[in-house]
Amino acid sequence: MFQAIREINRNIADEERASESTPPTRDEEPEGVLFGKYEIRKFLGVGGFAKVYEAFDVVTKQSVAIKVVSKRRIVEAQLTAQLQREITIMRRLNHPHIVKLYEVLATKTKIYFVMECAQGGELFDRLLNHGLFDEDHNRRCFHQLISAVRHCHSLGVFHRDLKLDNLLLDDDLNIKVSDFGLSATMDQIRPDGMLHTLCGTPAYLTPEMLAKKGYDGEKVDVWQCGVVLYVLTTGSLPFNDADVPTMLRRIYRGRVGIPRWVQPDLKRLIKRLLDPNPKTRITVDEILQDPWFRKGYREIKVEQKNSGWEEDDRNRTKSLNAFHLISFSSGLDMSGLFVTDPEPEVSGSVERIVSKETPNRIVETVEEAADRDTVVVTRKEDGWGAKLEGHRGNFVILIGVYRLTDELVVIEIKKKEKEGESGAQFWDDKLRPRILELEHKPE
């Protein structure tokens, strides 16, 4: 039965996720120690636009999962915005039953998501290989799932692709919700108060999604939790059919059959979760009061993270964490999301290099390169950059220095020129050669 479920659990292609008909190959696998920190241990799997590896963090001495994404494929599939949203969402969430995103790293061609490693693998595979859990363990799993979903909703996040494949297990068989690639946030809600993108896995779609009239993200997540509970209980999908169009018609009608041997309280909850009318479908708060659910339930207290990227305002202008690396590779510029520059916005070309020099030495080099008769140099008050202006105002160059690691900094150069005039000669002949002398080139 679980093999049949997997056959029809193919994601619907839409504007949120391109077709997965050509998964990435296993060529150019990472070897050795990535970024001097992560020792690759084994290949875990491939799907969509990513390959996943288990690695060992040589600093923290713990196992991590590393999802490797091809920048070229992301750009070609026009999924940059989706990737930005997924990272932003995962950074916002902080819950023991949601996979943690530790950091994001990048090279010229790849992006690396470094995440918590769920050693127990997918819940789906566990059931496939070992059979169903007993009712008490199913209840425990469902407690953890609902707690995680409630946390997401409290932060305005709607998962939209909750399924057994996206529920991972740790060594103690605790649930870890993963894969927020199709998640939505409050800012995606249209003026009618609804989400409208048809996305997800066919067997887990809701009647209102199929009606294409808009849907409530919270109600979709509740329905999908109902499908998960149904499969945990019975070992089959509630609207199962090998023919996907037939299955979708069954979902749209919403008449679910529950085996007679399912005990009454659990049967009642499943029916309320899989209510085809979203207006009368049970809510998360109502689930917490349900008799079957309440047995043995203990509320999980979580600390709310600061929203956005404002975890350390005092150091924001000086330090770059690993997430900023994404913006340093051409073809996938996310600097608007990851880098906050205290200077006025300068539209124009941007260059970045990595250096081992001190901020003071970098600014001194900039000052030495500038001809004081034609260029005005103003240091930042904190010493971590400078502003260069042509005397006639014909160009502006902003130099920003950001701490990347204990040894490395990133030098960011933003250039703006007036139409018809140019500071290109000063940049090409004097400043750029001097800055390139400061570049760190790993052997």
Q: What is the pLDDT of residues 60-101, one digit of tens each?
A: 899 999 999 988 888 777 788 888 888 889 988 999 999 999
Give the whole-angstrom CA distance, residue 97 versus residue 238: 25
Answer whether 199's CB lies under 8 Å from 182's CB: yes
Count the alpha carbons within 13 Å of 13 in the hemisphere toward its beta carbon.
Answer: 7
The DSSP code sequence of 383-397 is SSEEEEEETTS-EEE
Q: How far apart are CA 339 and CA 169, in angstroms?
A: 34
Lowest average pLDDT, out of 87-96, 137-146, 316-325, goes to: 316-325
pLDDT of 22 over the 70 cut: no
- pLDDT for 99: 96
Tens digit of pLDDT for each residue in 173-205? 999 999 998 999 998 999 999 999 998 899 999
Looking at domain 2-116, what is its CATH homologous superfamily?
A: Phosphorylase Kinase; domain 1 (3.30.200.20)
pLDDT of residue 208: 96
Name the region of 69 (left: φ>0; alpha: ψ -120 to 50; beta: rest): beta
Cα–Cα distance for residue pair 339/321, rounded to 1 Å: 10
- Over residues 422-432, the mean pLDDT reads 79
Q: Where are the domains of the chain?
A: 2-116, 122-294, 313-436
The encoded tokens of residue 324 equal 């900023």
How far is it, in rounded angstroms, from Cα 274 to Cα 270? 6
- The Cα 417–Cα 278 span in angstroms is 55
pLDDT of 372 > 70? The answer is: no
User: Are 98 and 300 a contacting pair, CB within 8 Å?
Assistant: no
Largest CA distance in the chain: 90
pLDDT of 135 > 90? The answer is: yes
Place of tokens 């915005």: 81
Ranking 152-156, 216-220, 269-273, 327-331 by mean pLDDT, the lowest is 327-331
Q: Which residues are catalytic?
A: 161
The pLDDT > 90 percentage for the chain reads 46
| Domain 2-116 and domain 122-294 have a common topology | no
Nearby residues of 90 by Cβ (< 8 Å), 6 or more positions away: 99, 100, 101, 180
CATH architecture designation of domain 122-294: Orthogonal Bundle (1.10)
CA 220 to CA 214: how far, in whole Å?
Answer: 11
The CATH number fitting domain 313-436, selected from 3.10.150.10, 3.30.310.80, 3.40.630.90, 3.40.50.150: 3.30.310.80
User: For residues 83 and 74, is the Cβ–Cβ distance under 8 A?
Assistant: yes
Q: Which residue has the higher pLDDT, 84 or 346?
A: 84
Alpha helices in 93-180 (DSSP H): 123-130, 135-154
Cβ(175)–Cβ(141) under 8 Å? yes
As a whole number of angstroms, the distance between CA 425 and CA 81 comes to: 36
Q: Residue 272's pLDDT band (boundaries 50, 70, 90)?
A: very high
Most confident of 219-228, 365-374, 398-407, 424-433: 219-228
Say how far apart CA 332 and CA 392 lie, in whole Å. 34
Q: In the prediction, which pLDDT does 80 show?
A: 80
Give the residue with greater pLDDT, 96 vs 329: 96
DSSP-derived letter for residue 305 is P
- For residue 6, what are its two tokens? 């997997």
Question: Crossing angle for the helix pair 264-273 and 217-234, nearest 10 degrees?
Answer: 140
**Predicted model pTM:** 0.69
Q: Specify the pLDDT at position 337.
A: 33
Residue type, 98: I
Indicate whether 26 pLDDT > 60: no
The percentage of residues in the chain with a pLDDT greater than 70, rounded to a whole number, is 78
HSE (side-chain half, CA atoms, 13 Å) at 134? 1
**CA 53, chain centre distance (Å):** 17
